[in-house]
Amino acid sequence: MKSAILALADGTVFEGRAFGAEGECVGEVVFNTAMTGYQEILTDPSYKGQIVCMTYPLIGNYGINPEDIESQRPFVEGFIVKEGSPYPSNWRKSKTLEAYLQEWGIVGIQGIDTRALTKHIRDQGAMEGVISTVDSSPHSLVEKARSSPGLIGRDLVKEVTCSESFQWWQGEWRWGHGYSDDRVPTTDDREHKRVQLDLFGERTSVVGQRFQVVAIDCGIKYNILRQLVSTGCDVVVVPATTTANEILALDPDGIFISNGPGDPEGVMHLVETTRQLLGKRPIFGICLGHQILGLALGGRTYKLKFGHHGANHPVKELHTGKVEVTTQNHGFAVDIDSIPSGEVELTHVNLNDGTVEGMRHLRLPVFSVQYHPEASPGPHDSRYLFDRFVALMERNRCTREPVELLHVEGTRIRQQGSIAT
């Protein structure tokens, strides 16, 4: 088996074996603590620009299947595992994980001490790294890592957003039925023939009502779109470069701002578009969309030391005191104290480090969360947020007069290093 090297920008080097495609890749090295869901992680566009290390030691043991992808292709720059399973066992699999990585040209490494790498990143912070199967010089690879552009200030959204608008019809996956299609009448026979325990129950949205939603694609995951459809939304997905006037011309009941990769301050054009949309329609933001809203409301964002990546992060909803176990993938956070006083309130907080996980505007129909309520992969504790979005659109459906947003200054660009984590 061909050897491979992982070199970090601080000079740390790990030697292992190639896993996936041969070649070389560069990106910010982060770790993900999820035990399952590697296929969804690989195809999450939010990982553009990053090399992902899985902390669970055995990855690939259920293979790859075409139903669990979250975008049209993998977006990770590279992949790091302790041990890749060569013999997956699952009735849904179509190929091995390594074959999938080779098919898409994703360079990976296995056989290194992923615990040591994770501890190093926790101590020193996420940093640029290089995986190579073609360059055997550690010194050369360290220099390549040090000269890589990093994430700060880069517009990675333009590399993952769709090129043109499209309608999304697919709903949730159900045992025995697969993914539903909103264009086709359903024949859900679960009440008559239960083949599996229904863990999630029925959605709570009002039957018969449909809501027109424009989803701004910053790197949106398919399961977000499925959740919107299954909650009663007709969804049009638009590129992140779409103007506010073009979005409003579609006459939506609500606007959704999606997850996406990199630094939110790298997409200031989208921040300005969002600022122009505030008060015009209900808005729901997730992950990067949450950060974009924070900037549009006059606040600032900052880079976390090593980010939040995993499917087991505890988040407390402050109104109810309920603790949700959440799926997360982000390297930046909103400084809610930088938003003009009296505009927003904190709704969710991360119980690991106290960072902002959710907020809502006090006058406008606008709310957002930093984590992933569609949870693919991960727990389903937070799916109620999609129902909350529908309820917000229902309440605002008859009120289409623009609302003026007062006391919002221009975005306060952060000074790098000014906010400690």
In this prediction, residue 172 carries a pLDDT of: 79
Inter-residue long-range contacts of 139-146, CB under 8 Å, 24+ positions, other chains counted: 141/5, 141/7, 141/13, 142/7, 142/8, 142/9, 142/11, 142/13, 144/7, 144/24, 144/26, 145/7, 145/8, 145/9, 145/26, 146/9
Percent above pLDDT 70 for the chain: 87
Q: State whether residue 83 is helix, strand or coil.
A: strand
Res 400 pLDDT > 80: no
Rounded distance between C-alpha atoms, residue 192 and residue 209, angstroms: 26
Q: Report H helices in 27-95.
A: 38-42
What are the φ/ψ torsions at residue 222 (nearest 5 degrees)?
-60, -35
Res 407 pLDDT > 50: no
In this prediction, residue 190 carries a pLDDT of: 31
Rounded distance between C-alpha atoms, residue 58 and residue 38, angstroms: 11
Rounded distance between C-alpha atoms, residue 272 and residue 249, angstroms: 17
Contact 261, 45 (CB under 8 A): yes
Q: What is the mean pLDDT of residues 381-392?
A: 93
Res 138 pLDDT > 90: yes
* Between 73 and 418, the higher pLDDT residue: 73
- 255-293 exposure pattern, b = at least 16 Cβ within 10 A, e = fewer: bbbbbbbbbbbbbeebbbbbbbbbbbbbbbbbbbbbbbb
Name the amino acid, one letter, at 292: I
Q: What is the mean pLDDT of residues 357-386?
A: 92
Q: What is the mean pLDDT of residues 134-146?
A: 97
Rounded distance between C-alpha atoms, residue 120 and residue 115, angstroms: 9
Q: What is the mean pLDDT of residues 133-146?
A: 97
Rounded distance between C-alpha atoms, residue 96 and residue 194, angstroms: 31
Output helix, strand, coil percentages for the chain, rounded to the nearest 5. Answer: 20, 30, 45
Lowest mean pLDDT among 10-19, 195-204, 253-262: 195-204
**Which residue of the set 70, 98, 265, 374 is catalytic?**
374
The answer to whether 372 is a known catalytic residue is yes
Q: What is the mean pLDDT of residues 182-191?
A: 46
325 DSSP assignment: E
Rounded distance between C-alpha atoms, residue 132 and residue 140, angstroms: 11
Res 401 pLDDT > 60: no
**Residues in contact with 53: Cβ distance below 8 Å, sequence separation at least 6, in sequence order:** 29, 30, 31, 32, 80, 81, 114, 117, 118, 121
**Which residue of the set 309, 313, 348, 372 is catalytic?**
372
Q: In order of start, what are the domains of the chain with their CATH numbers?
A: 3-150 (3.50.30.20), 158-396 (3.40.50.880)
- pLDDT tens-digit profile of 297-349? 999 999 999 999 999 999 999 999 999 999 999 999 999 999 998 899 999 99
**Among candidates 335, 325, 420, which has minimal Cα distance to 380?**
325
Res 159 pLDDT > 60: yes
Lowest mean pLDDT among 110-124, 239-253, 328-342, 395-409: 395-409
The answer to whether 287 is a known catalytic residue is yes
**Among candidates 252, 184, 16, which has minimal Cα distance to 6?**
16
In this prediction, residue 397 carries a pLDDT of: 79
Q: Average per-residue pLDDT in the chain?
A: 89
In this prediction, residue 399 carries a pLDDT of: 62
- pLDDT tens-digit profile of 85-127? 999 999 999 999 999 999 999 999 999 999 999 999 999 999 9
In this prediction, residue 16 carries a pLDDT of: 98
Neighbours of 200 (CB within 10 A): 10
Lowest mean pLDDT among 96-105, 184-193, 281-290, 397-406: 184-193
Q: Report H helices in 104-166.
A: 114-124, 138-146
The answer to whether 308 is a known catalytic residue is no
**What does the H/E/C string look like for 191-202?**
CCCCCCCCCCCC
In this prediction, residue 183 carries a pLDDT of: 64
Residue 412: pLDDT band with limits 50, 70, 90:
very low
Lowest mean pLDDT among 57-71, 224-238, 243-257, 390-404: 390-404
Res 394 pLDDT > 70: yes
Contact 45, 69 (CB under 8 A): no
| End-to-end alpha carbon distance in the chain | 41
Percent above pLDDT 90 for the chain: 80
Enter the tokens of residue 356.
């902002």
**Which residue of the set 287, 309, 357, 361 is catalytic?**
287
Residue 170: pLDDT band with limits 50, 70, 90:
confident
What are the φ/ψ torsions at residue 42 (nearest 5 degrees)?
-60, -35
Res 20 pLDDT > 90: yes
Q: What is the mean pLDDT of residues 63-87?
A: 96
User: Helices then strands (H, E): number in the chain?
Assistant: 9, 21
Residue 182: pLDDT band with limits 50, 70, 90:
low
Res 253 pLDDT > 70: yes
Rounded distance between C-alpha atoms, residue 370 and residue 15, angstroms: 35
